[in-house]
Copies of this chain bind each other. A is one copy, B any other.
C-alpha cells in the first residue's frame, strides 16, 4: 500500500537526516519532493522538532519489533546477527547514508533537550536487540567473546556507525574490512 503524506514526510526526513544531518534540510526540500507546499508539511508537523520526533518514534518502533522477532529461535544466530548488520549494509547501499545514531549524535546539542530521551530510547532498543543476539549465541556456543554481552554490543554498534562514516571518506572497502573483522572476532 502507498504511504500516506504523513508517512512520506517521515521517510523523506529520515533520509535527509541520514544523508546530510538534521540541520542541512528544510521543510521546503521535503515539500518539493512530495509536490506539495511548505505549509502542508507544517500542517502534519508544526515544528521541525515534531518531525524529528516522528522520525525517532517510527524508528524506535521498528527496533522494538526486531527485538521481539529475535526472541524466536527459528533461525540460527549468525542469521540473526546478519539481520542486525543488514541495517548498516542497507545504509551503505542507499548512497552511503550514515546511521541515524551517527547523524544525530553530531547534531545532538543543537536539538531541543526534550528529544534526547527519544533518541536515547531508540539507541537503547537497538543495542538491546544486538545484546540479546550476542548473549544467546554465546550461551548456545555459536559465538565466543570476553566480557558482558552489552559491552560487546556497544563496541559493534560504534564500530558499524563509524564504518559507515569512514566509508564515505576513504571508500566502501573500509566498511567491508571493519565488518568482517567484527564477525571474525565473534566466531574464532
Contacts and interface: CB of A to CB of B under 8 A. Distances in A.
Interface of A: 19-21, 23-24, 98, 101-110, 116, 119-120, 123-124, 127, 146-147, 151-152, 154-155, 157-166, 168-170, 174, 177-178, 181-182, 184-185, 188
Contacts of A106: 20-21, 98, 102-103, 106-107, 165
Nearest to A103: B106
Q: Across chains A and B, which 6 residue pairs bring their CB atoms closest together, nearest first?
A: A158-B162, A105-B165, A162-B162, A161-B162, A151-B177, A159-B159
A78 to B, nearest CB: 19
Contacts of A185: 185
A31 B187 CA distance: 54
Residue of A24, A151, A169 most packed against chain B (CB within 10 A): A169
Tell me if A's interface is mostly helix, strand, loop or mixed. helix
Residue of A105, A151, A157 most packed against chain B (CB within 10 A): A105
A80 to B, nearest CB: 21
A96 B11 CA distance: 29
Nearest to A188: B146
B19 A109 contact: yes
Contact of A166 (B24, B98, B158, B188): B158
B169 A123 contact: yes
A29 to B, nearest CB: 12
A151 B181 contact: yes
B20 A119 contact: no
Given A23-B24, A177-B151, A165 B158 contact: yes
A163 B23 CA distance: 22
Residue of A107, A127, A152 most packed against chain B (CB within 10 A): A107
A155 B163 CA distance: 8
A101 B165 contact: yes
